[in-house]
């Protein structure tokens, strides 16, 4: 039995310690925001925040997470009350199929938590690790800019 703290709540998880966090989030806790994309730590669709840092939940075994603080996109806001970052993604219509978006939002959230006023260059560099197969990267960057109070962008998608 492993206790995981997810979005401020403790959950007792009865699973093999090598189980990837993503499976526990989706299958046991029914937190379906994080997605299975590559399963190899290469696309970012499964990104969550662990102790303030982004983590690929597809390759992070739950054994490594006891006593650590896990945040998922469900912890940011709700459909009725989205967080400012989620609202910015909505306002910029950053999602096409939406598969990458929870991971993108969590990646952006990790940046904003430690640097609430990133430069365009810092946003671009930080967001590079997230892959979007629909190619909405420019809208995603605009959404992050909007979230830090810089709506509009020199780059149009």
Of 32, 42, 93, 125, the one binding ligand FES by CB under 6 A: 42
Tell me how far, at minimum, the Cβ of 11 lies from ligand FES, in Å.
21
Of 29, 73, 100, 105, the one binding ligand FES by CB under 6 A: 100
According to the binding rule CB under 6 A, does residue 99 interact with ligand FES? Answer: yes
> CA neighbours within 13 Å on the CB side: how many for 99?
11
Binding mask 17-36 for ligand FES (x = CB under 6 A): -------------------x
Of residues 88, 65, 67, 62, the one with CA closest to residue 76 = 88
Edge-to-edge strands, sheet with 53-56: 9-13, 2-6, 69-71, 47-50, 53-56
Tell me how far, at minimum, the Cβ of 25 lies from ligand FES, in Å.
12
According to the binding rule CB under 6 A, does residue 56 interact with ligand FES? Answer: yes
Q: How far apart are CA 36 and CA 141, in angstroms?
A: 22
């Amino acid at each position: 039995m492993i206790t995981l703290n997810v979005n401020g709540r403790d959950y007792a998880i009865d699973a093999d310690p090598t189980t990837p966090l993503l499976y526990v989030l989706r299958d046991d806790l029914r937190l379906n925001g994080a997605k299975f994309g590559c399963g190899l730590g290469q696309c970012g669709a499964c990104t969550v925040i662990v102790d303030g840092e982004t983590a690929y939940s597809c390759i992070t075994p739950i054994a490594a997470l006891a006593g650590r603080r896990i945040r998922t996109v469900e912890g940011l806001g709700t459909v009725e009350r989205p967080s400012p970052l989620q609202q910015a993604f909505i306002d910029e219509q950053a999602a096409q199929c939406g598969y990458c978006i929870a991971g993108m939002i969590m990646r952006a959230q990790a940046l904003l938590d430690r640097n609430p006023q990133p430069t365009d260059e810092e946003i671009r560099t930080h967001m590079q690790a997230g892959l979007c197969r629909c190619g909405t990267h420019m809208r995603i960057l605009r959404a992050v800019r909007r979230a830090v109070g810089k709506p509009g962008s020199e780059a149009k998608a």
